[in-house]
Structure 1
């Protein structure tokens, strides 16, 4: 829980915003921690036990479940940000340099997982010591925002800037630097070591909006900061998986040691048998004399073994429901049933819902990334958003195909397109569709330029040799005429 209180040198209006933002951050802390536990698979059997079939003494049994992580990561993996494209498809050197300096392609991957896990993630911008734009992403565990419905953007934002030094200190660690973002300034709040007082320093800017952008998933009018992929119905299915696996594990233990019985034994025989049940179970021969009190011979029997198949059927049912609720294929759950696809076309058909969700994710994030790019360029050029040149203002985010088609299919499509548009074969997009990455494309173009240069030189040398030969021939012809 974050606690700041009154900050020295912070104006009253900003103090009110700060208090509200801290309250928002703390109010969602417990819910966000629960989502992390479901994502990491740290939900215990005790939390999901219905106290019917599972004995309380076995509630400490731990069952790992990766469905929460799958729910987030499989969709995030299909959102492949690939940089920005400038006006008319031309490269924009300024934004490309900003992307490279901030490792934005890689950082976007982490931000997208947080966005799907919690419903949103936040990007903040600042100028570093070298006068370069610095872009950082924050999860809702360390950032919060207030929504401005009138303008459709953040009204103000807060982000904890210094992260916990080590995971083992996460419950006792206290931050010492927090940024407050408003329309006119970024306020850096610092708490010196071994003190409880916070001090504010304001840095004004020209953006007319906070230097903070929210990336949201599945946002609505009532929930502008989005909704988590790990919402309650999904968590309930994960609970069901954990219960079913626990029940199946216990049932398997009983199936491994089936219950046996002996009727008509004496007290001494009973004591001998129960004194070491495991020895009696693994023994090859079980012997007993007649009961001296009744004269009856002991009667041996074994109860029928339980059946684990109902648990397997329950798992298949849960996997099918989880697949329908998340858009993942049944194969992604790790459970095999009749719904598993058997051909490439069937796999693509089952993935269609996930592809649609990835396109929705890309569309929303592309808007947020453009806002980030525009502010970053304006800050780097020391200007306002309104005064950005068209070459800078027209940048758009580029994503790779979320369908993730095979190289063979994209190469075939590229060749067919190039037959209809001959100039297409000379573009970088053509090479990308053939399966080459940017590093390979640069090498290919560099070697093509070298070969082209070598050919030009060879043609020039050939032309010079032919010219020299013609000159020599003309001289020889002239000399012959003179002699004649």
Structure 2
């Protein structure tokens, strides 16, 4: 296969960088939507600009449930590599970045006298050409460091034979390191890949961004309307032309206004405009929340519309069925990427090109998406007894842990 080269990959990264950065801004609640109102002046909308964290909630609700446990059938002792790379931070960072930007990358480097080092690089700083069969890259490019203006300061080009480093500082000489693994040492972790989008799909979808934008506009309109709701507009008719002009603020906040009859004995008439209701905005906001919840597999409770009756674990699982399915799909796709990381890290550690087929028995394991409560533990225990009565030894401690996440006394791991 012909190589695309570093210049091509650099242009490819630039072309995708804006979309990735936009989703990171959506996640961090720093993205400013364009003004589309035809009735509210721009300067007034700027004073009442709303901030909403639904996109962040949609990502975190799934990312917090994706807890990696270990690799089973670890014939190549890859668990020790991950244990040496701060796994509590590494796995969470890799999963969160993949859910926000559709994919993240793991940069593998060798440390003399130690285990390989693993570093998570977000999709705005790395790209490559993917092999659709193995999920590995045929060549890759990453920005390892940027200067204060956001320009690349240290770049790396990954090939199957070497990793080349390029420095913007002319005083630092470029160099390359041999790669003994036969694959580029930049591995993608992809969320929901398919044939059309081999680098996956973001958890922050276009529909989700629309519903959040719709809700933000509703909050802005409600906030502006609340000013008129707090101080309803009043009017006076029938005032004499000789009457002194009334001070607007005094007429608004004064508890008593005095008007006298004119020379003809006529008196002014006081009135008040109809106060706008806040109910339509509440309904609009709930409509937007329902659309966003359906898009992300959440419930209205997750978005702040609390129901009266508290839910049990089983009820929560039933209401989050779409979220559970999304979590299982994410575990499969991200687990495949983590296995590729384990494969190349083992090759680099042992300085030997293992066959990818040798790792097919090594399986990534995740904690259950929903933690078990006392009721679930009781139901699982009763079911395990009945299954073992029918087929002896069918359910063991490891199976129970996979179902409940509870590690029994004396078990390993």
TM-score (norm 1): 0.76
Matched ranges for 1:392-471 at <5 A: 394-410=361-377, 412-414=379-381, 416-417=383-384, 421=388, 427=397, 430=400, 436=406, 444-445=409-410
Q: 1:181 aligns with which of 138, 151, 158?
A: 158
The 3-state SS of whatever aligns with 1:313 is helix
Report Cα offsets for 1:126-168 as digits up to 9, x if no partner: 102433211111111111112345765322111222366xxxx
* Distance in 2 of aligned mates of 1:251 and 1:445: 63
Instruction: Determine the structure 2 residue equivalent to 1:375.
Output: 344
Q: CA deviation at 1:398?
A: 0.6
Change (3 A) 1:365 1:435: closer
* Distance in 2 of aligned mates of 1:349 and 1:371: 33
Residues 1:51 and 2:37 aligned together: yes
Report Cα offsets for 1:5-55 as digits up to 9, x if no partner: xxxxxxxx87x51111111111112222221221112233xx343222322
Q: 1:309 aligns with which of 262, 279, 285?
A: 279
Matched ranges for 1:181-330 at <5 A: 181-192=158-169, 195=170, 199-266=173-240, 269-271=243-245, 273-274=246-247, 277-292=248-263, 295-330=265-300
Q: CA deviation at 1:427?
A: 4.0
Q: Is the 8 A contact 1:155 1:209 kept in 2?
A: yes
* Distance in 2 of aligned mates of 1:152 and 1:109: 21
Q: 1:86 aligns with which of 73, 77, 89?
A: 73
User: Is the deviation greater in 341-350 or in 224-233?
Assistant: 341-350
Instruction: Determine the structure 1 residue equivalent to 2:94.
Output: 111
* Distance in 2 of aligned mates of 1:432 and 1:387: 26
* Distance in 1 of aligned mates of 2:403 and 2:321: 21
Instruction: Determine the structure 1 residue equivalent to 2:138.
Output: 155
Q: Is the 8 A contact 1:126 1:133 kept in 2?
A: yes
Tell me the C-alpha RMSD between the 2 structures: 3.0
The 3-state SS of whatever aligns with 1:331 is coil
Instruction: Determine the structure 1 residue equivalent to 2:54.
Output: 67
Change (3 A) 1:393 1:320: closer
Kindly indicate which of the two structures has a greater share of residues assigned to helix.
1
Report Cα offsets for 1:158-211 as digits up to 9, x if no partner: 1222366xxxx4xx144432221112211122233xx4x885322222322211
Q: CA deviation at 1:260?
A: 0.6
Q: Is the 8 A contact 1:125 1:136 kept in 2?
A: yes
Q: CA deviation at 1:418?
A: 5.2
* Distance in 2 of aligned mates of 1:362 and 1:425: 23
Q: 2:305 aligns with which of 326, 329, 335?
A: 335
Q: CA deviation at 1:93?
A: 8.0
Q: Is the 8 A contact 1:177 1:188 kept in 2?
A: yes
Report Cα offsets for 1:281-318 as digits up to 9, x if no partner: 222211112245x6521111111111111111111111
* Distance in 2 of aligned mates of 1:279 and 1:173: 53
User: Is the deviation greater in 310-319 or in 100-109?
Assistant: 100-109
Instruction: Determine the structure 1 residue equivalent to 2:26.
Output: 38
Change (3 A) 1:35 1:433: closer
Q: CA deviation at 1:58?
A: 1.1
The 3-state SS of whatever aligns with 2:328 is helix
Q: Is the 8 A contact 2:368 2:403 kept in 1?
A: no
Unmatched tracts of structure 2, length 5 or more: none
Q: CA deviation at 1:244?
A: 0.3
The 3-state SS of whatever aligns with 1:94 is coil
Q: Is the 8 A contact 1:316 1:337 kept in 2?
A: no
Q: Is the 8 A contact 1:411 1:435 kept in 2?
A: no
Q: Is the 8 A contact 1:188 1:201 kept in 2?
A: yes
Report Cα offsets for 1:216-271 as digits up to 9, x if no partner: 12222121111212232221111101100001111111111011111122456452
Unmatched tracts of structure 1, length 5 or more: 1-12, 447-484
Q: 2:126 aligns with which of 138, 143, 147?
A: 143
Q: Is the 8 A contact 1:341 1:350 kept in 2?
A: no
Q: Is the 8 A contact 2:136 2:340 kept in 1?
A: no
Change (3 A) 1:81 1:189: same
Question: Number of matched residues?
Answer: 406
